[in-house]
Structure 1
Amino acid sequence: MRGERIAVFIDGGFLDKILQYFKNSKIDYRKLVDFMVRDLPLLRVYYYNCLPYLSASPTDEELKRFSNKQKFFRTLNKLPNFTVREGKLAYRGTDKDTEDPIFEQKRVDVYLAVDLVMHSTKRLITHAALLTGDSDLIPAIEIAKSEGVHVALYYLDSKGLHAPKAHDELLEAVDERIALHEELIFEWKRVDDQKG
């Protein structure tokens, strides 16, 4: 392991969907990172997500949700070697069937891709651990691999489940695939005062 170093890249929106699926929105992120690092020296953890959408005249519920997420991001930023990268949440209209609002994360994938490429080309890391499901990251993964970085993908093994899953092309693009399952999510359940 001499000279080896890992960075962890967490798509917070994707992780939120996994946690919602298991009805467990509060986990200990230190335990998650320890699992993903696997005894390699850690350079940094990058967490990518957006603050909730605020309408022009936000309701009390919107303001509370926004404030809670801000506090959560600040808490993550205080963890050792953690950096939160905030994207923007864009309103895209209303679902015709359910009439629920449709939101889209902006910049999150770009931030993750840029960080992965930069760390790889500058030879800051030898290993990258990604928790995401988005195939838009494949070009960045290919660059990282061409620079000699071992790329591991952490994803939800959702065969037969109606749960968030990693894109098939993404699974094929990485060097290693580590499936997450309910027992692991339960092991990471938050027992301290971390807010989330």
Structure 2
Amino acid sequence: MPTAVLIDGGYFVKRFRRIEPHNAYNPERAAELAHRWALAHLTSSGCDRRDLYRIFFYDCPPLRKRMHNPISGVCIDYARSPEALFRVALHDALKQKRKVALRLGHLADSNAWTTDSRTLDALLKGKRTFSALLPSELHPEVRQKGVDMRIGLDISSLSLKRQVRQIVLVAGDSDFIPAAKLARREGVDFVLDPMWSAIPPGLLEHINGVRSTCPRPAFRHETWGAKASAAGSDQTHRRAWPGAAQGDDL
């Protein structure tokens, strides 16, 4: 039976931009690498090439409405922003890839504005005042809806219907633990690809293995070793360790 590769699009884009910052807004390159790194999971040292069931890419359409910056009062058309143009082009490029299924959620309708965590922390600690905020330090509060639910439903459906023998999940948080546990109970080989990011121990103990097929980002402090070594006793033959070679089954 074949392998299905499920990619959390928001997570993938963040890691892709860490790996190739010079291509941060190159949608064709992002789509090409998403497809290439997914296909790389079909081969591993000492094993024959596996069949591909499908590559699922989960994301949301970008923010495409006009909003007024609360400090400057300037009206910004986010449909023309670099991020919106990148996301639309990325989704179009992925649709052209063989055996790629694009699963889109939606954005929560909100007119709220926020800032980055460092600026917010400085405001809460009194190191900065709200009156000193710059217009460029604010951005709309965008929340994705339906993406995690779609990933969980597809993991459950693929496992219960016995459509695949292996599921590779490209993600990095612990939201998918219930789905991963269900897949393992159904006899599915569940592999996590965190793209060389650190893994929550709670997630590590509920999967069968860890493997990243992309290059390591330049900043190598984001490795698995410390958290992987703290995992629980429910471990299998593939585990992460700091000296592992890129792309090896661990």
Q: Based on CA coordinates, which of the two structures has the bigger radius of gyration?
A: 2
For 2:92 and 2:139, locate their aligned partners in 1 and report how far apart those are by CA, in whole Å.
29
Alignment of 1:90-109 (within 5 A): 90=108, 91=110, 93-95=113-115, 96=120, 97=123, 98-109=137-148
The verdict on how the C-alpha distance between 1:135 and 1:128 changes in structure 2, with shifts beyond 3 A counting, is same
User: In the alignment, is residue 167 of structure 1 matched against residue 200 of structure 2?
Assistant: yes
User: In the alignment, is residue 15 of structure 1 matched against residue 35 of structure 2?
Assistant: no
Q: Partner letter of residue 32 of structure 1?
A: W
Give every structure 1 segment of 4 or more consecutive aligned residues whose post-TM-superposition deviation is greater than 6 Å: none
Identity %: 26
TM-score by length of 1: 0.78
For 1:184 and 1:99, locate their aligned partners in 2 and report how far apart those are by CA, in whole Å.
28
Partner of 1:162: none
Q: Partner letter of residue 4 of structure 2?
A: A
For 1:167 and 1:19, locate their aligned partners in 2 and report how far apart those are by CA, in whole Å.
20
Partner of 2:58: 48
User: In the alignment, is residue 82 of structure 1 matched against residue 100 of structure 2?
Assistant: yes
Q: Partner letter of residue 114 of structure 2?
A: T
- In the TM superposition, residue 89 of structure 1 has moved relative to its aligned partner by 2.5
In the alignment of these two chains, the number of paired residues is: 176
For 2:217 and 2:5, locate their aligned partners in 1 and report how far apart those are by CA, in whole Å.
17
1:84 match: secondary structure: strand
2:138 match: secondary structure: coil
The answer to whether the 8 A contact 2:192-2:209 is kept is yes
The verdict on how the C-alpha distance between 1:45 and 1:140 changes in structure 2, with shifts beyond 3 A counting, is same
- In the TM superposition, residue 88 of structure 1 has moved relative to its aligned partner by 1.6
For 2:114 and 2:59, locate their aligned partners in 1 and report how far apart those are by CA, in whole Å.
22
Which sits farther off after the overlay, 30-39 or 59-68? 59-68
Alignment of 1:118-129 (within 5 A): 118-129=157-168
Give the strand-richer structure, 1 or 2.
1
Q: Indicate the structure whose relative CO is greater, using CA pairs within 8 Å and at least 6 residues apart.
A: 1
TM-score by length of 2: 0.63
Q: 2:175 aligns with which of 130, 136, 140?
A: 136
Q: Partner letter of residue 47 of structure 1?
A: F
Listed as ranges, the gaps of 5+ residues in structure 1 are: 159-164, 186-196
Q: How large is the Cα RMSD of the aligned pairs?
A: 2.4
The verdict on how the C-alpha distance between 1:183 and 1:166 changes in structure 2, with shifts beyond 3 A counting, is closer
Which sits farther off after the overlay, 141-150 or 14-23? 14-23
- In the TM superposition, residue 73 of structure 1 has moved relative to its aligned partner by 1.0
Partner of 1:161: none
